[in-house]
Amino acid sequence: MENVKGLQCISCGRVFPADDRVFTCPECGEKGILDVIYDYDYIKKNISRETLSQNRDYSIWRYLPFLPVQKESRRTPLKVGWTPLYYPQKLMEVLGLSRLFLKDDGLNPTASLKDRASAIAVVKAGEEGFETVACSSTGNAASSLAGNAAAMGLKSVIFVPQRAPQGKVAQLLIFGATVISVQGNYEDAFHLSAQAIAHWGWYNRNAAINPYLVEGKKTVTLEICEQLNWQVPDWAIFSVGDGCTIAGAWKGFKDLYQAGFIDKLPKMAGVQAEGCCPITRAFLSGNPLEPMEENTLADSIAVGVPRNPDKALNAIRESKGTMINVTDEEILQAMKLLGHTCGVFGEPAGVTGLAGLKKLVAGGLISRDELVVTCITGNGLKDVNNAVKAAGAPIKVDPDLGELKKKLAGLVRF
């Protein structure tokens, strides 16, 4: 990889060569998460705003010089990335914003932002000769890994916690994954997957451990900046679970800045669910992270023991951003608000950023004229039970116009 200088430990600062199969710093252990260090001179020589404007590959691979993969590596055949960036008039009116953009990452091939990371995972697994990839996940990382593995012809083994919604599990099985439903919480699933990966020698796609996955996630902000014609948002709002997504989003902005594509950086706002907010708590208190129970319906961000709090906390702090919590009720309200005003159906974790944005605007931290972007990180079809909670039930009628008139009278005005 001519564009990569090495992997740097975010704890001790040591740099390791990128072709080692090292996932965490040998000195610092689990705390020693690694960060990919690029050669920005190489990047500048190989990609520019102008070459991008001519590039008709509308997928994450248009940013190849920014990605930690070999140029000639086999890639997932699925079309990952280049999801739409909407400018939602009615939603802006409701929120009281004049320049809001909404990235719909539920339109990725397996219906979540996680496809961006899994696309990198399967390429790296292929580069290194693995035949089986594995991860533990509350759902989206898993389905994206299983889908991209199937498309690449790799086997996948997925560890899910007991509470993973049926839709997400069905998707895994359809993709041919071996699915292990661990009778416990996410933490139990994570530990068992780590032991099994060590035992069988599979490729490890656990996002916080594998330094390459954040690099896939960062493509969401590469796209946002290009779609905004290289304007930089004042605020970028993301939901936060494990911490990897907001860390990746921040890495995207920083890489673009270092390579001279943009001339400033945004503030990052991270939003957690009140029932599971260990990273918000650590941010606000300044104390080390302490685990929490996982009491939220936003299952994709219900992570009581996040694996990557440091990268996430660094992103918020470096960017001079903030963190905020929202209740499950506020999340359900955000699902309705998004659907009613934009025709976009987000899953609970997918709209948590939007719920937080609403609060940040109401609280005066984000003002009307700031340029704001938030991302819907997963499709609501993945978790229909919660959608039903948010949306209510249909009006049942017999096939008779008289009955329909009676039932609609008073209810709806046309």
| DSSP string for residues in 30-50 | GG-BEEEEE-HHHHHHH--HH
Q: How far is the CB of 17 from a second copy (least distance, A)?
A: 28
Q: What is the dihedral of CA 263, 115, 9, 137, to 10 degrees?
A: 140
- Secondary structure class of 167 (helix, strand, coil): helix
Say whether residue 94 binds a second copy (CB under 8 A): no
Question: β-strand 235-239 against 371-376: which pairing, if any?
Answer: parallel
d(CA 49, CA 225): 11
Nearest to a second copy of 6, 184 (CB atom): 184
The nearer residue to a second copy, 77 or 363, going by C-beta atoms, is 77
**Rounded to whole angstroms, how far apart are CA atoms 170 and 187?**
22
The nearer residue to a second copy, 168 or 311, going by C-beta atoms, is: 168
Residue 169, interface with a second copy (CB under 8 A)? yes
Answer for which of 12, 284, 362, 395 binds a second copy (CB under 8 A) is 395
The footprint of a second copy on residues 301-330 (CB under 8 A) is none
Rounded Cα gap, residues 191 and 169, in angstroms: 19
Please give the full DSSP string across 309-339, using - where no structure is assigned. HHHHHHHHHHTT-EEEEE-HHHHHHHHHHHH
Using CB under 8 A as the binding rule, the residues of this chain from 30 to 89 that contact a second copy are: 58, 76-79, 84, 86-89
The residue type of 274 is: E
Annotated binding-site residue? 377:
yes
User: How many residues make contact with a second copy (CB under 8 A)?
Assistant: 90
The verdict on 334 binding a second copy (CB under 8 A) reads no
Residue 391, φ and ψ in degrees, nearest 5: -100, -20
Contact pattern for a second copy over residues 231 through 270, marking x by CB under 8 A: ----------------------------------------
Looking at residues 109 to 138 of the shown chain, list those that interact with a second copy (rule: CB under 8 A): 109-111, 131-132
C-alpha distances in angstroms, 264 versus 38, 186, 224, 317, 369?
A: 19, 37, 14, 16, 17
Check binding of 6 to a second copy (CB under 8 A): no
- Scanning 1-9, 145-153, 233-241, 355-363 for contacts with a second copy by CB under 8 A, the matching segment is 145-153
CA distance linking residue 6 with residue 123, whole number of Å:
18
Of 344, 372, 373, 376, the residue at the interface with a second copy (CB under 8 A) is 344
Does residue 409 touch a second copy according to CB under 8 A?
A: no
Of 184, 333, 367, 370, the residue at the interface with a second copy (CB under 8 A) is 184
Binding to a second copy by residue 141, rule CB under 8 A? no
- The span of 247-255, 306-314, 341-349, 363-371 binding a second copy (CB under 8 A) equals 341-349
CB of 151 to a second copy, least distance (A): 3
Give the distance from CA 258 to its chain's centroid: 23
SS (H, E, C) 271-303: EEECCECHHHHHHHHCCCCCCCCCCCCCHHHCC
Q: 284 or 408, CB closer to a second copy?
A: 408
- State which of positions 350-379 bind a second copy (CB under 8 A): 379
Phi-psi category of 168—alpha, beta or left, where left has phi over 0 and alpha has psi -120 to 50? alpha
Stretch of residues binding a second copy (CB under 8 A), selected from 254-262, 268-276, 296-304, 332-340: 332-340
Location of structure tokens 């209740």 = 327
Instruction: Give the residue with the Cβ less far from a second copy, 364 or 414.
Output: 414
Entry field: residues in the chain: 414
DSSP 8-state assignment for residue 266: P
Residue 168 · residue 139 · CB < 8 Å: yes
User: Which CB atom, from 51 or from 258, has the smaller least distance to a second copy?
Assistant: 51
In contact, 204 and 128? CB cutoff 8 Å: no
Within residues 188-217, the interface with a second copy by CB under 8 A covers 188-189, 191-192, 195-196, 199-200, 202
């699925």: which residue's tokens? 78
**Residues in CB range of 405: below 8 A, 6 or more apart:** none
CB closer to a second copy, 264 vs 405: 405
Question: Is 24 within any annotated ligand binding site?
Answer: no
Q: Cβ of residue 375: shortest distance to a second copy, in angstroms?
A: 15
97 belongs to the binding site for a second copy (CB under 8 A): no
CB of 46 to a second copy, least distance (A): 22
Residues between 217 and 236 with contacts to a second copy, criterion CB under 8 A? none
- Binding residue numbers for pyridoxal 5'-phosphate: 140, 377
